[in-house]
Amino acid sequence: MADIVLEHVRKCYGDHEAVCDLNLEIRDQEFFVILGESGAGKTTTLKMIAGIEPVTSGAILLNGQPIQNLTPEERDCAMVFETYALYPHLSVYENIAFPLRAPKRRTTDDQIDQAVLRVARILGMDTFLDRRPATLSGGQRQRVALGRALVRQPAVFLMDEPLSHLDARLRNEMRTEIKAMRESFGSTIVYVTHDYSEALALGDRIAIMHRGRVEQVGTPSQVFRRPQNRLVAETLGDPPMNFLSGTISLDQDRSVFTNGSWRIPLPASPRLRRCVGKEVCLGLRPQHIRLERARPDTPFWLPSKLFVQELLGDHAVASVAVGDYLFMALCEADQAYSLDEPLYLAWAPEHMYLFLEDTGEILLAEGD
């Protein structure tokens, strides 16, 4: 049983506020992901839960009990560090057994041996148990770090960007393996990453943090399909969402998005009507954009010129210049366009997003 609640947690280094007024509620056995750029305060939050970083103010509750004043060893948390933090002078076996040898746990030697071998089997480490960390590859070291945390079946399992130092191929494999291993953790998992695909793949729920604040908390599809503001929309998706600034104006009492000569009709909604005249920006995801050579009949298009086309294996990314904006669109690998060829950017009306320019707050999401 391990649900974690953070109430008004704040962390300051001198006058720099790394984490400001954080309120999070993580349910038992949940795979909770904190996603954000570097410097968003996500690792600091994790270290505050683990007790390595003291909380400047606010409370951290584990199953209702406050733990923010406990020292790390008094909290039933295990942590996988971004740099693995293996003990260089101990063998792999001793690294994994180390937590169980802690005096307060009083585990007998063969209990330790059983637990270590069990974990070694799950993570496929039985072949290099007696080697030193320095002689291991990145992937192997990462498994040892996982094993060291798994062996004690903690209430809370903290993971600080465990995959960020692996090469692309190994990262995908380990991500899938962690997802497959999820049941064997048997604890609440708090996973920190800057890679949106890890968040979407692994998270039951995702919290997106930016400069010490939580922008949105939700399930992967909530966060991807209905971002609460422009920042969240930009964070998720590679290549990221395209934006075009403009204003909302009335055209025979229908709200319309205008930018210079371009006019794009918007669905009738009281909220949009209230924002007539306001600066807004239109959001379009690359996979929702079609590049046509002929002018589409629907009003949902923009004129553009091909800037550069990049083939990426199963698909290609075409960068097109729309006025002085650069839009990215996904297209078929074998679709060839020539440089500066005039193209029409077309999309289906339900794929449009609209955000307020100043606060970035969402006005129109996909599908409504």
Partner 1 sequence: MPDHALRTQRPNPPHRGLPYLLTLPALIALIGILYPFVLGVYYTFTNYTLTEPGNIRLVGLANYIEIFGNIVFWKAFGLTFVFAASVVTIELVLGLGVALLLKDAFPGVRILRSFLIIPMMIPPIVSALMWKVILLPTNQGVLNHILGLVGIRPIAWLGDSATALVSLILIDVWIYSPFAVLIFMAGLQSMPKEPYEAAQVDGASGWFIFRKLTLPLLTPSIVLVTLFRLIDSLKVFDIIYATTKGGPAGATTTLHIQSYFEAIRWFRMGRGMVYLFVLWFLCFVFSKALSGLWTKVLMR
Partner 2 sequence: MAEIILDHVSKRYSKGHGPFAVKDLSLRIRDKEFMVFLGPSGCGKSSILRMIAGLEKITEGKLSFDDNHVNDLPPQARDIAMAFENYALYPTIAVKDNIAFPLKIRHWPQSRIDEKVAWAAKAVQITDILHRRPFELSGGQQQRVSLARALVREPQAFLFDEPLSHLDMKQRQAMRAEIKKLHSQLQKTMIYVTHDQNEAMALADRIAVMHRAELQQVGTPEEILNDPANAFVGGFVGEPAMNFLDVEVRIEGGGNAWIAYAGCRLADLPGMLDPANQQALLSPLQAGIRPHRIKFSGTRMRATDLAAEVSTYESLGERGVLTVRLKSQDLTILTLPDQTFRKAQPLWIHCPLEHMHFFSKETGKRFHLDSLDRRLIYEGHGTCRN
Partner 3 sequence: MMTSRLFRRILKALGLGAYFTFALGPIVWIAMMSLKNSNDVIASPPKFVFTPTLENYKAITVGLDAHDVETARPDYPKYFLNTLIIASATVAVSLLLGTFAAYSLARFSFRFKEDIAFTFLSFRFAPELMVILPLYVVFQKTGLIDSFTGLTAAYQLITLPFLIWVLRGFFEDIPREIEQAARVDGYTWWGVFRRISLPLVKPGIAAVVILSFIFAWNNFIFAMILGGERTQTVTLGILGFIGYERVLWGHMAAATMICVIPELILAFFVQNYIVRGLTFGAVKG
Task: State the helix-helix crossing angle for 168-185 and 138-150, rounded to 10 degrees.
Answer: 10
Determine if 13 is a binding residue for partner 1 (CB under 8 A). Answer: yes
Q: Work out which of 312, 335, 342, 361 binds partner 2, going by CB under 8 A.
A: 312
Q: Which of residues 52-71 bind partner 1 (CB under 8 A)?
A: 52-54
C-beta separation of 151 from 117 below 8 A: no
Residues that contact partner 2, how many (by CB under 8 A): 38
Toward partner 2, which CB reaches closer, 71 or 287? 287
Q: Which of 179, 241, 233, 232 is nearest to 207 (CA)?
A: 232
Q: How far is the CB of 190 from partner 3 (least distance, A)?
A: 13
Q: What residue has token string 């995959």?
A: 163
Q: Distance of alpha carbon 331 from its chain centroid, rounded?
A: 25
Residues present in the chain in total: 368
Q: Work out which of 23, 69, 71, 111 binds partner 3, going by CB under 8 A.
A: 71
Toward partner 2, which CB reaches closer, 93 or 196? 196
Residue 317 binds which entry of partner 2, partner 1, partner 3, none, with Cβ cut-offs from 5 to 8 Å by kind?
Answer: partner 2
Q: What share of the chain is helix, strand, coil (3-state, %, to 5)?
A: 30, 35, 35
CB burial of residue 165 (10 Å; 0-12, 13-18, 19+): middle
Q: How far is the CB of 13 from partner 1 (least distance, A)?
A: 7
Phi, psi of 252 (to 5 degrees): 45, 65
Q: How far is the CB of 44 from partner 1 (least distance, A)?
A: 10
Only segment of 11-19, 65-73, 152-160, 194-202 that touches partner 2 (CB under 8 A): 194-202
Q: What token pair was written down for 270?
A: 């009281």
What is the binding site for partner 1 (CB under 8 A)? 13, 52-54
Using CB under 8 A as the criterion, which residues of the chain lie in contact with partner 3 when the complex forms? 47, 50-52, 71-73, 75, 77-79, 81-83, 85-89, 98-99, 102-105, 148, 152
